[in-house]
Amino acid sequence: MIFRTVRAPLALLLALLAGCASTVKQNDGADGTVAPEANAGRYSMKHDKAPLDAVDVSKVPDAVPRLEPKSLAGNRSPYEVLGQRYHILDSALGYKEKGTASWYGRKFHGYETSNGEIYDMYGMTAAHKSLPLPSYVRVTNQDNGRQVVVRVNDRGPFHEGRVIDLSYAAASRLGMLGKGTARVSLEALDPRAILAAAPAVAADKQGAAGPGRYLQLGAFSDRSAIERIEQRLGQLSAGLNLRVSPVIQQGQTLYRVQLGPVPDSETEARLMRELADAGYAAARPVDLP
């Protein structure tokens, strides 16, 4: 584990971390049009691939629906890709659909999604052509009955007949990596209904965050990118530290970037808002020994 204490405001840290992904996946023009050549040369890989070694993502938890405003980026309607015009739904409420799901992985890992967040193929996220960003969707593999809940923060897939593009982790849990696609049913979830049905969980979040509480921004496979971040970071406000913890999963090393310790729930909530505003809405609390 690498443990660094450095000096810099939180906004600088987040800007630098976002700088790991120097390009965006979807580049909206002033009229909402995306040129066919917009992605040319943006990525270090020509064709998308899975991680170099199989990574066990069976324990990656589902996305937890929460109330969020619509993202400032990625919700322009209509928008155009490859000559096809798409319209964004006003709301995800009541949305249901069946069709073919695909998945995307290492080519886009560490780059910006359509709403400005950083794509983490080990997170439970997805891309959709018309749902508002962000939205929460339950995805069911109709062939084996497996289900996951994902947070939609990206646009796509722009292939005929496909209704959703899942992260590597979500696709793995649905058992569709080998074939590459799966017949799925989609159902948008209402965070308000879920919060109302789980008052005990909401009450528990009001308690102390605990001395070993950190906020995990993500896990990255590119060690050189982490090294560049470490060289430029300083100590965070509120006495927080940056932890970069390597973990080996089935032969591949991932680097977890964590912020903390978080002293109380009020600070945790504030930091989660700041992280979300900076493009790290997928950050989640973890309890470290």
pLDDT digits (tens, 9 = 90+) for 172-231: 999 999 899 999 999 999 988 876 654 433 333 333 444 578 888 777 766 665 565 455
Average per-residue pLDDT for the chain: 74
Tokens found for residue 105: 């992985």
Percent of the chain whose predicted confidence (pLDDT) is above 90: 34
Q: Is the pLDDT of residue 131 over 50?
A: yes
pLDDT tens string 114-129: 999 888 888 899 999 9
- What pLDDT is attached to residue 153? 95
Lowest-confidence segment of 58-62, 138-142, 147-151 by average pLDDT: 58-62
List beta partners, residue 185: 98, 140
Phi, psi of 112 (to 5 degrees): -75, 140
- What are the CA-CA distances from residue 168 to residues 124, 175, 228 (Å)? 8, 11, 25
Neighbours of 90 (CB within 10 A): 9
Q: Residue 245 — very low, low, confident or very high, per pLDDT cuts 50/70/90?
A: confident
- Among 76, 68, 164, 181, smallest CA distance to 124 is for 164
- Token couple for 66: 């929460």
Residue 162 has pLDDT above 90, yes or no: yes
Domain map of the chain by residue range? 2-16+208-287
Q: What is the DSSP string of 201-242?
A: HHHHTTS---TTEEEEEEEES-HHHHHHHHHH--PPGGG-EE
The arithmetic mean of pLDDT across residues 20-43, rounded, is: 38
Q: What is the pLDDT of residue 44?
A: 56
Task: Kindly list the distances between the CA atom of residue 30 and the CA atoms of 24, 33, 55, 156, in Å, as whole numbers in the listed order.
Answer: 16, 7, 40, 20
pLDDT of residue 286: 82
pLDDT digits (tens, 9 = 90+) for 57-96: 888 888 888 888 899 999 999 999 999 999 999 999 999 9
Residues 53, 58, 59: CA angle, nearest 5 degrees: 120
Q: What is the pLDDT of residue 113?
A: 92
Per-residue confidence band for 252, with pLDDT thresholds at 50, 70 and 90 = low
Would you say domain 2-16+208-287 falls under CATH 3.10.150.10? no
Q: How far is CA 95 from the centre of its chain?
A: 21
Whole-model pTM: value is 0.59
What is the reported pLDDT for 35? 36
